[in-house]
Structure 1
Amino acid sequence: MTVSTPMMVTFCIYIFGMVLIGSIAYRSTKNFDDYILGGRSLGSLVIALSAGASDMSGWLLMGLPGAIFLSGISESWIAIGLTIGAYLNWKIVAGRLRVQTEHHDNALTLPDYFSSRFEDKSKILRVISALIILVFFTIYCASGVVAGARLFESTFGMSYETALWAGAAATIVYTFVGGFLAVSWTDTVQASLMIFALILTPVIVILAVGGLGNSLEVIRAKSVENLDMLKNLNFIAIVSQLGWGLGYFGQPHILARFMAADSHRSIRSARRIGMAWMILCLGGAVAVGFFGIAYFQNHPDQASGVSENSERIFIELTRILFNPWIAGILLSAILAAVMSTLSCQLLVCSSALTEDLYKNFLRKNATQRELVWVGRLMVLLVAVIAIALASNPNNRVLGLVSYAWAGFGAAFGPVVVLSLLWKRMTRNGALAGMIVGAATVLIWKQYAWFGLYEIIPGFLFACIAIVVFSLLGKGPLAAAAQRFDAAEAEYQAD
């Protein structure tokens, strides 16, 4: 394959810009609080776009359009479930979590928050939650590396092995250098690029096929089932796709954005911006896959790339339909999606290793400078492991994401929600919820009972375990209950 000079130049400029932002953020990173949570200084716009960009990984521009292209509009139930879940997460969790983490010893991480919220002197909650983060996030990071590798492989004709390192390198650099501020600032740029690409591309595809009406006729002529929201779906299949929305309550990289807000008052404006961005992006991703059916039905001679791997549909349409300079910008949106999510995941893994394990068990008196550098080294360690996991060229982005998403949603989601809404919840309840949720996902995934997505039984069983084990023991300690009440009063006051 001949490498397109405009695409190469565009990619290089984009990557240089992200690394430059990382170097600027480096100067603003004075302590570990800055490196991990940006000093709780993010405003509404940055919170909204950073939360959206960190959420919507390469799955948005590769996995979802690829699923729609293969199966038709019926795969969009996932997008509906995600939209509902994201809104409820903003509405119920975001503001409360911002206030509660500040009142509970200014917690910087989820394990930090759990330990303080439940007065866990044994530190078992911290260890278990940190291990869950490391296991599922390493898988999640691998999905981002796979998506980046597919992009570089398709665009520049690299071997998959070389593309793995090329796709991950820039993300590792700016995350290593700039920490949370670099990740959040670059997320804002990347979210803008993603929404531009996902609005423009389907419009051009529709025009290339001959307009909206003609596009729908071509899709219908190929198979009328492509227009059927219930195609080959029973009740369990629909519930499984909608169940993706449950995952939002337990995603550490999204929850970290709420914790980093300059105030819980910023959350309301951020919710409006974030939901508008998300709906437009999901709609655009569905449209790319859907109208891509019509384009490649009319141009079967150009369909070899998507026939080999449907997750390349956005890449192939962009390369075919756009001027190389514009294509380079649009394909940078995939890199943006990959980099924004991967960087957040690397940072959360780093914080779990540094704050929750290294500082608490190995070096309690570590200086702030030492913790920042240990955090940077942990970014490198997790990245190398993720690249190793992604080394199989048969990996699919959507499959890796669904597993990690379910793991976090079931292990942390019920614990986060109930810890913010139910004062009576105890340490034993939280521990039981985490273990039951994570174990259910791991076991259910292996046996695939009833064809039900593992997040649903995992979330349900975790909720039951939390309530049962909390009620079996004594109530929360007085100090923890007072902090909970003070935080809730502050939240309700506004």
Structure 2
Amino acid sequence: MSVSTPMLVTFVIYILGMVLIGFIAYRSTKNFDDYILGGRSLGSLVTALSAGASDMSGWLLMGLPGAIFLSGISESWIAIGLTAGAWLNWKIVAGRLRVQTEHHDNALTLPDFFSSRFEDRSKLLRVISAVVILIFFTIYCASGVVAGARLFESTFGMDYQTALWAGAAATILYTLVGGFLAVSWTDTVQASLMIFALILTPVIVIIAVGGLDDSLAVIEAKSMENLNMLKGLNFVAVISLLGWGLGYFGQPHILARFMAADSHRSIRTARRIGMTWMILCLAGAVAVGFFGIAYFQNHPEQAAGVSQNGERVFIELARILFNPWIAGILLSAILAAVMSTLSCQLLVCSSALTEDLYKGFLRKNASQKELVWVGRLMVLLIALIAIALAANPENRVLGLVSYAWAGFGAAFGPVVLFGVCWKRMTRNGALAGMVIGAATVLLWKQYGYAELYEIIPGFIFASIAIVVFSLLGRAPSVAAQQRFAAAEAEYHAK
């Protein structure tokens, strides 16, 4: 495959821009609080777009359009579930978590928050939650590396192993150098690029096919089933797809954005911006896959790429339909999606290793400068492990993401949700919920009822465990209940 010079130039300019932002953020990073949480200084716009970009990853431009392209509109149940889950997360959790983390020893990470909120002097909660983060985020990071490799492989004709390193290198560099501020600022640019690509591309595809009516007629002629929201789905399958929305309550990289907002009062505006962005992006991703069916049905001679891998539908449409300069910008949106999520995940893994394990157990009196450099070293370590896990070229982005998403959703989701809403929750309830949620996902994946997405039983069993173990044990201390009440009062204050 010949490499288009305009496309290559666009990619290089984009990557250099992101790295430059990383070095600018480096100058604003004075201590570990800045490196991990940006000094809690994010405004509404950056909070919203950073949460959205860190959430969606390469799945938005590759996994979801690919699923729609291969199976039809029935795969859009995932998008519906995600939209509902994200809105509830913004509405119920975001503002409360921002206030609660500040009232509980200014917690910088989720394990930090759990440990303080539930007065866990044994540090068991901190260790288990850090281990859960490392296990599932390393898998999640691998999915980002796979998506980046697929992009470089398709665009520049690289072999898969070279593409792995090319796709990951820039993300590792700006995360390593700039920390949370670099990740959040680049996320804002990347979110803007993603929404531009996902609105423009389906419009051009529809025009290329001959208009909306002609596009729908071609899709219908190929198979009426492509228009059927229940194609091949029973009740359990629909519930499983909608169940993706439960994952939002437990995703550390999204929750970190809420914790980093400059005030809980910024959350309301951020919610409106974030949800508008999300709905437009998901609708665009569904439209790319759906109308891609019509385009490649009319042009089978150009369908070799998507025939090999349906997740390349956005890449192929961008390359075929657009001027190489515009195509370069559109394909940079995939890189943006990959980089934005991978960088957040690397940073959360780094914080778990540095704040919750290294500082928590090995070097309690470590200096701020030492912690920042250990954090950078941990970013590099996790990135190398993720690249090793992604080395299998048969990996599929959506499969890796679904496993990690379920793991976090079930292990942390109920703990976070009950933790910010129920003052009677105890340490034993949190421990039971976390362990049972994570174990259910792992076991259900291996031995369970395959049609039911493992996040649903994991979330249900973890919630039951939290309530039962909390009520069976001694009530939280008076001090813990007072801290919770003070945070609630601040959250509700005008």
Per the TM superposition, whether the score is higher than 0.5 is yes
- Separation in structure 1 between the aligned mates of residue 210 and residue 473 of structure 2, nearest angstrom: 67
- Separation in structure 1 between the aligned mates of residue 359 and residue 421 of structure 2, nearest angstrom: 30
- Separation in structure 1 between the aligned mates of residue 222 and residue 2 of structure 2, nearest angstrom: 33
How far off is 1:179 after superposition?
Answer: 0.1
- Separation in structure 1 between the aligned mates of residue 220 and residue 381 of structure 2, nearest angstrom: 49
Q: Which residue of 1 aligns with 2:164?
A: 164
- Separation in structure 2 between the aligned mates of residue 17 and residue 419 of structure 1, nearest angstrom: 39
Q: Which residue of 2 aligns with 1:383?
A: 383
Q: Which residue of 1 aligns with 2:372?
A: 372
Map 1:356-435 to 2 at 5 A.
Answer: 356-435=356-435
- Separation in structure 1 between the aligned mates of residue 141 and residue 264 of structure 2, nearest angstrom: 29
How far off is 1:223 after superposition?
Answer: 0.0
Paired residue type of 2:40:
R
Q: Which residue of 2 aligns with 1:73?
A: 73
Question: Is 1:278 paired with 2:278?
Answer: yes
- Separation in structure 2 between the aligned mates of residue 477 and residue 116 of structure 1, nearest angstrom: 12
Paired residue type of 2:212:
L
Tell me the secondary structure at the aligned position of residue 451 of structure 1: coil
Q: Which residue of 2 aligns with 1:470?
A: 470
Question: Is 1:56 paired with 2:56?
Answer: yes
Tell me the secondary structure at the aligned position of residue 42 of structure 1: coil
How far off is 1:477 after superposition?
Answer: 1.2
Question: Is 1:249 paired with 2:266?
Answer: no
Q: Deviations over 1:289-338 (max 9, x none)?
A: 00000000000000000000000000000000000000000000000000
Question: Is 1:110 paired with 2:110?
Answer: yes
- Separation in structure 1 between the aligned mates of residue 2 and residue 490 of structure 2, nearest angstrom: 60
The runs of at least 4 aligned residues of structure 1 exceeding 2 Å deviation read: none
Question: Is 1:87 paired with 2:87?
Answer: yes
Distance change >3 Å, CA 450–CA 387, structure 1 → 2:
closer
Gaps of 5+ in 2: none
Q: Deviations over 1:121-159 (max 9, x none)?
A: 000000000000000000000000000000000000000
Map 1:34-433 to 2 at 5 A.
Answer: 34-433=34-433
Q: Deviations over 1:431-478 (max 9, x none)?
A: 000000000000001124151000000000000000011011100011
How far off is 1:31 after superposition?
Answer: 0.1
Paired residue type of 1:157:
G
Q: Deviations over 1:175-229 (max 9, x none)?
A: 0000000000000000000000000000000000000000000000000000000
- Separation in structure 1 between the aligned mates of residue 257 and residue 477 of structure 2, nearest angstrom: 29
- Separation in structure 2 between the aligned mates of residue 390 and residue 135 of structure 1, nearest angstrom: 14
How far off is 1:363 after superposition?
Answer: 0.3
Q: Deviations over 1:50-97 (max 9, x none)?
A: 000000000000000000000000000000000000000000000000
Tell me the secondary structure at the aligned position of residue 474 of structure 2: coil
- Separation in structure 2 between the aligned mates of residue 342 and residue 450 of structure 1, nearest angstrom: 28
- Separation in structure 2 between the aligned mates of residue 439 and residue 136 of structure 1, nearest angstrom: 12
Paired residue type of 1:98:
R
- Separation in structure 2 between the aligned mates of residue 262 and residue 117 of structure 1, nearest angstrom: 21
How far off is 1:37 after superposition?
Answer: 0.1
- Separation in structure 1 between the aligned mates of residue 404 and residue 363 of structure 2, nearest angstrom: 30
Paired residue type of 1:83:
T
- Separation in structure 1 between the aligned mates of residue 493 and residue 24 of structure 2, nearest angstrom: 37
Q: Which residue of 2 aligns with 1:25?
A: 25
- Separation in structure 2 between the aligned mates of residue 256 and residue 421 of structure 1, nearest angstrom: 18
- Separation in structure 1 between the aligned mates of residue 450 and residue 344 of structure 2, nearest angstrom: 34
> Which has the larger displacement, 98-107 or 474-483?
474-483
- Separation in structure 1 between the aligned mates of residue 447 and residue 241 of structure 2, nearest angstrom: 18
Calculate the TM-score normalised by the size of structure 1. Answer: 1.00
- Separation in structure 1 between the aligned mates of residue 435 and residue 477 of structure 2, nearest angstrom: 22
- Separation in structure 2 between the aligned mates of residue 226 and residue 472 of structure 1, nearest angstrom: 51
Tell me the secondary structure at the aligned position of residue 449 of structure 1: coil
- Separation in structure 1 between the aligned mates of residue 231 and residue 75 of structure 2, nearest angstrom: 9
Paired residue type of 2:111:
P
Paired residue type of 2:491:
Y
The RMSD of aligned alpha carbons is 0.4
Paired residue type of 1:87:
W
Paired residue type of 2:91:
K
Paired residue type of 2:17:
G
Q: Deviations over 1:350-385 (max 9, x none)?
A: 000000000010000100000000000000000000
- Separation in structure 2 between the aligned mates of residue 339 and residue 223 of structure 1, nearest angstrom: 36
Paired residue type of 2:328:
G
How many equivalent residue pairs? 494
> Which has the larger displacement, 478-487 or 32-41?
478-487
- Separation in structure 1 between the aligned mates of residue 263 and residue 370 of structure 2, nearest angstrom: 29
Map 1:474-493 to 2 at 5 A.
Answer: 474-493=474-493
Tell me the secondary structure at the aligned position of residue 2 of structure 2: coil
Paired residue type of 1:321:
L
Q: Deviations over 1:238-264 (max 9, x none)?
A: 000000000000000000000000000
- Separation in structure 2 between the aligned mates of residue 65 and residue 445 of structure 1, nearest angstrom: 24
- Separation in structure 1 between the aligned mates of residue 478 and residue 360 of structure 2, nearest angstrom: 24
- Separation in structure 2 between the aligned mates of residue 94 and residue 419 of structure 1, nearest angstrom: 12
- Separation in structure 1 between the aligned mates of residue 15 and residue 70 of structure 2, nearest angstrom: 32
Calculate the TM-score normalised by the size of structure 2. Answer: 1.00
- Separation in structure 2 between the aligned mates of residue 77 and residue 485 of structure 1, nearest angstrom: 38
- Separation in structure 2 between the aligned mates of residue 190 and residue 447 of structure 1, nearest angstrom: 39
How far off is 1:493 after superposition?
Answer: 1.0
Tell me the secondary structure at the aligned position of residue 395 of structure 2: coil
How far off is 1:479 after superposition?
Answer: 1.2
